[in-house]
């Protein structure tokens, strides 16, 4: 039996066939392995996203997301100043993450993750998907200079740079320019502890949240025209001395430049759309002047709270001055704001806008102004206030506690007057009330102890609760047309000597003229119907020199103790003497001398009524 072996040619053919099969099969196997690994990565990221969503839901309302930038995954979420418990999930966690949450921070809406070298995205509604982003692949983390020289993270620390971020390029003063290997990012991502001046490249569109938080070595920054957003807390508590924000920046988020005590110059360019809450709060070092530019669509409350500048200019296009925008709230530094220039189109100044700016002496108020909110100029340093005709509303305490205030003009167009609008101004002496004004608001001039004279407009209808409580008024002539005088309206006006009340007044409220110790002359006119409880009473040590009163025939009731302790009264003449009672006792009021005794002493606490 003949045995025949393989020829050399046959062996070569077999080898070639096996090689071809290997070339075909190996990539397939590699792809299967890669797909399997990527599948494991996707599964791990799915678990991670689920855990993050659970944590966000549990912490909704208190969550402070600082992860709108790629950072190591163990530092992505904080609540207040404390890190939350470690995120619990099955599988290996991502190396770097970028996450965007819903507006209420209750769930994840978008994420980018690096997992075992794979780039994986999460999209709300679509779930976990593969990404073409090559960020997670590439060279060893570090910086590469333009000539290819590699510098590790450890070596960068010596240069004052400690990055776990995605830089396109960065210039460190005194060193060469570097480019970060893994890719050209569109935002700055992490606090870098830079020394000196930071120059942002033109590829950067976003400066991330808390990037330069408490960066004491960073004194200057050039913000490139490519930047669109400066995120929350980006430069908070840094040592910047000068900031120039180009108009290409659209959004400056909350606390972006908060607490920068070294800031000596701030320039804001026209084009900025949003300035967030306390974006520049508690910043500034004796800045001479800043201008709020035109075009801002969302100038948020408290944007410049406790900002230290001597002068503030609002550009012509600004129509609303937001609440608390330049409020001085903290007491560790004395306020320095002296002058505010409002544009010609301002329609409203909201509550607390300049509250407690005790050095504020000058402000122009345009004719377009319609409303001034509560506490808007509370405890400022104004000396004179001329409010424009056309103003309709003044809020509670708007101009209260201004020790320097001596003169005001209140236009007749005001229809809504808050309580204590000009109260507690001890040096106010000159008040002009415009024709058209219909009411004196509650406690409007309370405790204005230097106010000795005032002319009330003929259009006045009501004097509300405590309108002139504890002033220095010496006489008051109520204009014909006033219908009511409220409770405590002139109470405690110890210098008030003469009061004339016209027949249009139907009711004098409780305690309206109580404790007017100097009262000498009181004129009550026909038409008056009700004298309230203790309306003209005093105490037993200050009876006042008032001697004679005439009670009009139209009066039908006097509340308990209407003239209590007016013991210097000599005559009280009732124009209509029929049907009077003091409590349940019928009283003959035909004798003026007896009436004086009955009202001030004998029946001083009784309710007087006429059948």
pLDDT in tens, 347-364: 999 999 999 999 999 999
Pairing of strands 150-151, 177-180: unpaired
> Which band of pLDDT confidence, cut at 50, 70 and 90, is reported for residue 40?
confident
More confident residue, 542 or 444: 444
Could you tell me the pLDDT band of residue 537, with boundaries at 50, 70 and 90?
A: very high
Q: Is 33 exposed, middle or buried (0-12, 13-18, 19+ CB in 10 A)?
A: exposed
Provide the pLDDT confidence category of residue 16 given band limits of 50, 70 and 90: confident
pLDDT of 9 > 90? The answer is no
List of residues 6+ apart from 29 with CB closer than 8 A: none
3-state secondary structure of 21: helix
Burial of 132 (0-12, 13-18, 19+ CB in 10 A): exposed
Supply the pLDDT for residue 257.
Answer: 96
Looking at domain 139-309, does it have CATH number 3.80.10.10? Answer: yes
Listed range (118-127, 526-535, 580-589) with the worst mean pLDDT? 118-127
Of the candidates 98, 54, 47, the residue with the CA atom closest to the CA atom of residue 76: 98
Does the structure show a pLDDT above 50 at 194? Answer: no
Q: Which residues are CB-contacts of 119 (< 8 A; sequence separation ≥ 6)?
A: 112, 113, 130, 131, 132, 133, 134, 135, 136, 137
Which residues touch 13 (CB under 8 Å, ≥6 apart)?
none
Closest to 235 in 3D by CA, of 248, 246, 222: 222
% of the chain residues with pLDDT over 90: 58
| 312-323 pLDDT tens trace | 999 999 999 999
Residue 168 has pLDDT above 80, yes or no: no
Per-residue pLDDT band for 440 (boundaries 50, 70, 90) equals very high
Q: Is the pLDDT of residue 136 over 80?
A: no
Residue 409: exposed, middle, or buried by beta-carbon count in 10 A (0-12, 13-18, 19+)?
middle
Task: Decide if pLDDT at 167 tops 60.
Answer: no
pLDDT confidence band for 30 (50 / 70 / 90): low
| CA pair distance 522, 547, nearest whole angstrom | 9
Domain positions in the chain are: 31-78+91-137, 139-309
Residue 62 banded pLDDT, cuts 50, 70, 90: very low
pLDDT surpassing 80 at residue 69 = no
In this predicted model, which residue has the larger pLDDT, 169 or 99? 99
pLDDT (0 to 100) of residue 332: 75
* Bridge partners for 558 per DSSP: 531, 608
Q: Pick 62 or 16 by higher pLDDT.
A: 16
Find the range with the poorest average confidence among 215-229, 424-438, 492-506, 563-577: 215-229
Spatial distance between the Cα atoms of 493 and 550, rounded to a whole number of angstroms = 22
345: pLDDT strictly greater than 50: yes
pLDDT of residue 158: 42
Can you tell me the distance from the alpha carbon of 247 to that of 64, in angstroms, rounded to the nearest whole number?
A: 28
| Percent of the chain predicted with pLDDT > 70 | 76
Alpha carbon dihedral 503, 504, 510, 511, in 10-degree steps, equals -60
Q: 582 with 608: CB under 8 angstroms? A: yes
The span from the CA of 213 to the CA of 65, in Å, is: 15
**Secondary structure (3-state) at 592:** helix
Sequence-distant (6+) residues with CB within 8 A of 440 are 417, 456, 460, 462, 463, 464, 467, 468, 489
> Are 262 and 241 within 8 A, CB to CB?
yes
Q: Provide the pLDDT for residue 496.
A: 96
Mean pLDDT taken over the chain? 81
Tell me: the pLDDT tens digits for 581-601?
999 999 999 999 999 999 988
- pTM of full prediction above 0.85: no
- Better-predicted residue by pLDDT, 321 or 93: 321
């Amino acid at each position: 039996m003949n045995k025949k072996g393989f020829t050399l040619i046959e062996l070569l053919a077999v080898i070639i066939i096996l090689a071809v099969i290997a070339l075909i099969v190996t990539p397939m196997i590699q792809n299967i392995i890669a797909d399997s690994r990527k599948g494991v990565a996707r599964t791990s990221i799915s678990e991670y996203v689920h855990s993050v969503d659970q944590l966000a839901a549990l912490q909704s309302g208190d969550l402070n997301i600082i992860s709108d930038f790629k950072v190591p995954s163990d530092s992505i979420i904080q609540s207040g100043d404390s890190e939350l418990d470690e995120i619990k999930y099955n599988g290996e966690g991502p190396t770097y993450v970028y996450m965007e949450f819903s507006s209420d921070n209750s769930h994840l809406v978008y994420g980018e993750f690096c997992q075992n070298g794979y780039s994986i995205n999460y999209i709300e509604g679509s779930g976990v998907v593969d990404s073409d982003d090559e960020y997670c692949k590439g060279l060893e983390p570090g910086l590469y200079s333009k000539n290819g020289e590699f510098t590790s993270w450890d070596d960068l620390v010596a240069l004052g740079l400690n990055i776990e971020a995605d830089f396109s390029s960065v210039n460190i003063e005194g060193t060469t320019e570097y480019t970060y290997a893994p890719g050209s990012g569109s935002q700055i991502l992490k606090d870098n502890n830079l020394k000196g001046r930071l120059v942002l490249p033109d590829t950067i569109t976003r400066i991330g949240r808390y990037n330069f938080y408490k960066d004491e070595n960073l004194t200057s920054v050039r913000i490139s025209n490519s930047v669109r957003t400066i995120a929350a807390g980006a430069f908070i508590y840094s040592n910047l001395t000068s900031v120039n924000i180009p108009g290409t920046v659209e959004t400056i988020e909350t606390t972006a430049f908060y607490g920068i005590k070294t800031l000596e110059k701030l320039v804001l360019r026209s084009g900025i759309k949003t300035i967030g809450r306390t974006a520049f709060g508690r910043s500034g070092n004796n800045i001479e002047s800043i201008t709020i530019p035109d075009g801002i669509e969302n100038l948020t409350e408290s944007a410049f709270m406790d900002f230290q500048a001597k002068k503030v200019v609002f550009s012509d296009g600004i129509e609303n001055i937001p609440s608390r925008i330049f409020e001085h709230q903290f007491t560790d530094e004395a306020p320095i704001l002296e002058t505010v220039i409002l544009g010609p189109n301002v329609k409203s100044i909201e509550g607390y806008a300049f509250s407690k700016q005790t050095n504020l002496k000058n402000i122009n108020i345009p004719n377009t102004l319609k409303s001034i909110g509560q506490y808007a100029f509370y405890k400022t340093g104004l000396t004179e206030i001329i409010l424009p005709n056309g103003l309709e509303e003044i809020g509670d305490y708007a101009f209260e506690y201004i020790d320097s205030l001596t003169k005001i003009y209140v236009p007749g167009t005001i229809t809504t007057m808050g309580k204590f609008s000009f109260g507690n101004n001890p040096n106010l002496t000159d008040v002009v009330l415009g024709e058209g004004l219909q009411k004196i608001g509650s406690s409007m001039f309370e405790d204005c102890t230097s106010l000795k004279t005032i002319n009330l407009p003929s259009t006045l209808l009501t004097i509300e609760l405590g309108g002139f409580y504890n002033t220095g008024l010496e006489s008051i002539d109520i204009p014909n047309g006033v219908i009511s005088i409220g409770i405590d309206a002139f109470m405690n006006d110890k210098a008030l000597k003469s009061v004339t009340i016209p027949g249009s007044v139907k009711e004098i409220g409780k305690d309206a003229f109580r404790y007017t110790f100097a009262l000498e002359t009181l004129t009550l006119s026909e038409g008056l119907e009700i004298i309230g409880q203790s309306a003209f009473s005093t105490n037993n040590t200050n009876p006042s020199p008032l001697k004679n009163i005439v009670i009009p025939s139209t009066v039908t009731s006097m509340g308990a103790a209407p003239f209590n302790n007016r013991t210097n009264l000599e005559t009280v003449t009732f124009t209509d003497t029929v049907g009077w009672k003091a409590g349940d006792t019928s009283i003959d009021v035909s004798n003026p001398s007896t009436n004086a005794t009955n009202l001030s002493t004998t029946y001083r606490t009784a309710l007087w009524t006429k059948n």
